[in-house]
Amino acid sequence: MSASYSSARGAAREAASSQHYPQGALYVVATPIGNLADITLRALHVLELADVIACEDTRHTQQMLRAYGIDKSAGQLLAVHQHNESEAAQTVIDRLRQNLRVAYVSDAGTPGISDPGARLAAVTTQQGLRCIPLPGASSVTTLLSVAGIGGESADTSGFVFHGFLSSKSTERAHTIGVLAQEPRAVVLLEAPHRIEALAQALAVLGDRQLTLGRELTKQFEEIATMSAGQFSAWLQADANRLRGEFALVLHPAAIAAQGGDAVRILTLLMAELPLKSAVKLAAEITGQPRNALYEQALLLKKQD
């Protein structure tokens, strides 16, 4: 495998070596979420250059490095994961104060995004040391790029990243109830052994649209859009759909779905009040975004 990337390493040195890479700095390096070809040239260069590579799983990282033909000894790899991040951060700080370059990678994707790394970055900056990001693969942005969501109004633009929901059914149901009121898109992550439970919990959202990505960037990548109420049936239709890591995007809720009777209430108020007053009062009654209600009011007025 390493021979396949020999030209990539050469290109990385040619493209990235002219940049300054200070010593005594922590390099937070995004790595592929499945497809090894998604590594960046700058990431390859920094991984070769690093004196120490802090990582979520040393065995996994060593395997990845060997695939790229990068040779690091076991002593150059330092385990920094969710169970030891606070303690291991001090070891990283010691290495940085020795004027070494330390690269940090999680098992896949961008560190600190539902992965270890956030505490390490925080401690590094708190100690007055440099923390340098190397952007790259992320399941969050990968799925968002094809989900086709675009805010129809200022209140529904953008997205909210939530990540993994609680494994406890009561807490998970409560969180979904809260997220149901969120007018923007919501990004969730889930592991294969919990995806059926998540699908059942999301069923309460009914017709709200959902785009899911399974095994993103890998050979059996699957991306599908459906209503939240259809998700369980979609999983059960093919046993292979229960395999692999999942990223999910709940689309912005349609105004009627957000508030149930929001449109009906708005219509009744418009019959008695000026448009702006009706929108203001409807927003207070239903809790729905005023901008979205105003756009709906304009549509209703055109239909008169």
Q: What is the reported pLDDT for 218?
A: 96
Distance CA 264, CA 53 (A): 59
Place of tokens 């105003």: 294
Q: What is the reported pLDDT for 113?
A: 92
41-49 helix and 6-16 helix, angle to the nearest 10 degrees: 90
- The structural domains of the chain, with segments of one domain joined by +, span 2-134, 139-253, 257-303
- CA 124, distance to chain mean position in Å, is 23
DSSP run (H or E) holding 102: strand 102-105
Domains 2-134 and 139-253 share a fold: no
Select the CATH number that applies to the domain covering 2-134 from these four: 3.40.1010.10, 3.40.630.30, 3.40.50.1860, 3.60.15.10: 3.40.1010.10
Range 139-253: architecture per CATH: 2-Layer Sandwich (3.30)
The pLDDT averaged over each successive group of 10 residues in the chain (304 residues) is 81 94 98 96 97 97 96 96 92 98 97 93 97 97 93 70 93 87 92 96 89 97 96 96 96 62 78 86 78 79 71
Cα distances (angstroms) measured from residue 283 to each of 134, 220, 278? 43, 45, 9
Report residue 103 as tokens.
């690269």
Q: What is the reported pLDDT for 152?
A: 56
Q: What is the reported pLDDT for 234?
A: 97
SS3 71: coil
